[in-house]
Chain A
């Protein structure tokens, strides 16, 4: 792109709708009539809990990062409450915040710690995720289930897939059945099928948005914008129909912006990617870099956990087409529904900790997909999944011609080790070393 070129930019229409939906979510978890649980079965790629008449789910990760974001003294207090009980300082900040909050008995705004009735930890995408259900269970003596994130290296292998798929279906089936038995709620299979269709539609919108961000110059949307709506329907669970409508609205607006060259950053001249979540408590650096005309397009994490795009055998990169069960497949039993909901592949098509490619080729493919010039890779002292192989990925990106830097912090939900001043200094160095200077208008 030509240096110094300027494009029109304008505010996003979907912004206020997102705000409204987030407020609705907050209300829903405060509802006393619902069975509130923690966690999600990552194996079920749809909003399964809505198939129960009165079940809702809260995730640790957004709750923990909101504590850090909204109330630093509280978050420190919560982490201290967890540390004095034995948890190491190196555990994930999301969890340090939440586990400490359990003992404090209240959350960052002073309201009571939400009472939870069950817990389903997200299986081993990160070691910390695999372990995060236990504490909730220990604390409130509630039912806990477990599942696995199934991986193997190399090409897809039908023989290996078979037992793994059975394992996945078994774990999901067991959770649904136990939920019915324990909470006396009837799982609505018909509703479940509807939810799956809705989820599929949202996934398609999400992929389209990724594609438009990646392939359009100037990009119609930065990841800063995306993150403000990112959790809706996923980590911030709302009404399934409203989720579909909302994502259709986002897609339509992004498409229109792309067609009309409405830029997210009016002076876009440097495109960069990240890896995994940003420091949720300090997203100022996105705007800071925009002064240099640098736009962040996100990470594999922010684009369907790396599953929104694929590299085709001819080397071209496009939207991912998943292997799925046939659309007209008959779903008569609960097992059929759960089987379809569990996906046609045991090993996730994209996402972290899928196979070796995520750590080697895939980060480079992602950079190519995004037409990126550089990468800003956070390395976190706490947790593990957010930092795993991050140093090595920088080498592959450098080989591919990207200009890469790292910055250090504690964890996306813990600001202890993030030296904001040092980060901005580093960003200046990053930009200046490439001859870029801040644009003052």
Chain B
């Protein structure tokens, strides 16, 4: 059976073609703002090509993510927490908590068997941590990967409650000649505190097996800091960025 999942995020769109439960093709590209429907199609076509199948061969397409309604050809559209949970269950059947840390949102769900017992989304104040880190990297003339490699003991701190204040703090420090790498460490740390706040927003926590996925996972320093602050050792799936799309495709197969 061939199904597809398309996760249309604010920053990136990820498409996956699943053939008998295995990833046969995948593609990722910029979501593209106003051009999103066209970009979604192009990314999906790329995934189909990699899988060596035609659109007509795909039995069902499920979409997820903020831009799921831009997938005009989707058979169903599901929310992120449902697809992320499915993706986590595929690779880690013992999952108890799933975290999807994307560009603009962090979703945390507590899973018990087939059920999602509780979920939380970040508060608006903690929205866009991924986008914020990306924009700060650009401002400091670093790549996202370079920023993500900055960890270690902190010599300065920035506000962890509000990215507007965090940016002001960071720029103040830069203006006073603080090493940009030191500020970078502080930014990763502050975002990790804010993300930890969202994880702690779950009332009945179960941290036995926490799977984390989404674009923010690519920032190693952030992830390391988050593990330390939240006191959790995360399980990162093989394809953390594609996880939502895999979950959607898998649910399409099961439907």
Instruction: Tell whether any CB of A sits under 8 Å from a CB of B in the complex.
Output: yes
A residues neighboring B (CB under 8 Å): 394-395, 398, 403, 405, 408, 417, 419, 425-426, 428-429, 432-434
Interchain CB contact (< 8 A) of B124 among A417, A428, A429, A433: A417
In the A-B complex, the 8 residue pairs with the smallest Cβ-Cβ separation, listed nearest first, are A429-B79, A433-B116, A398-B203, A432-B79, A395-B203, A428-B79, A432-B82, A429-B81
Q: Contact check, B203 vs A394: say whether CB atoms are below 8 A apart.
A: yes
B residues neighboring A (CB under 8 Å): 66, 78-82, 107, 109, 116, 118-119, 121, 123-124, 203-204
Q: Contact check, B124 vs A408: say whether CB atoms are below 8 A apart.
A: yes
Distance A426 CA – B109 CA, assembled complex (angstroms)? 13
Distance A425 CA – B204 CA, assembled complex (angstroms)? 23
Q: Contact check, B121 vs A426: say whether CB atoms are below 8 A apart.
A: yes
Give the Cβ gap from A426 to chain B, nearest Cβ, in Å. 6
Interchain CB contact (< 8 A) of A432 among B78, B118, B121, B203: B78
Q: Contact check, B121 vs A429: say whether CB atoms are below 8 A apart.
A: yes
Interchain CB contact (< 8 A) of A429 among B80, B123, B203, B204: B80
Give the Cβ gap from B155 to chain A, nearest Cβ, in Å. 34
Query: Residue on B with the closest CB to A437?
Result: B76
Q: Contact check, B123 vs A408: say whether CB atoms are below 8 A apart.
A: yes
Q: Contact check, B118 vs A425: say whether CB atoms are below 8 A apart.
A: no
Interchain CB contact (< 8 A) of A433 among B66, B79, B203, B204: B79
Q: Contact check, B124 vs A398: say whether CB atoms are below 8 A apart.
A: no
B119 / chain A contacts, CB cutoff of 8 Å: 405, 429, 433
Q: Contact check, B109 vs A433: say whether CB atoms are below 8 A apart.
A: yes
Distance A287 CA – B51 CA, assembled complex (angstroms)? 42
Q: Contact check, B79 vs A398: say whether CB atoms are below 8 A apart.
A: no
Query: Residue on B with the closest CB to A379?
Result: B123
Distance A107 CA – B9 CA, assembled complex (angstroms)? 42
Distance A428 CA – B81 CA, assembled complex (angstroms)? 10
Question: With contacts A394-B203, A398-B204 known, is A433 near B81, CB below 8 A?
Answer: yes
Distance A426 CA – B122 CA, assembled complex (angstroms)? 11
A403 / chain B contacts, CB cutoff of 8 Å: 118
A426 / chain B contacts, CB cutoff of 8 Å: 121
Residue picked from A403, A419, A432, A434, most chain B C-beta under 10 Å: A432
Q: Contact check, A398 vs B118: say whether CB atoms are below 8 A apart.
A: yes
- Extra inter-chain contacts (15) besides given A408-B123, A432-B81, A432-B82, CB under 8 Å: A394-B203, A398-B118, A408-B124, A417-B124, A425-B66, A429-B79, A429-B80, A429-B81, A429-B107, A429-B119, A432-B78, A432-B79, A433-B79, A433-B109, A434-B116
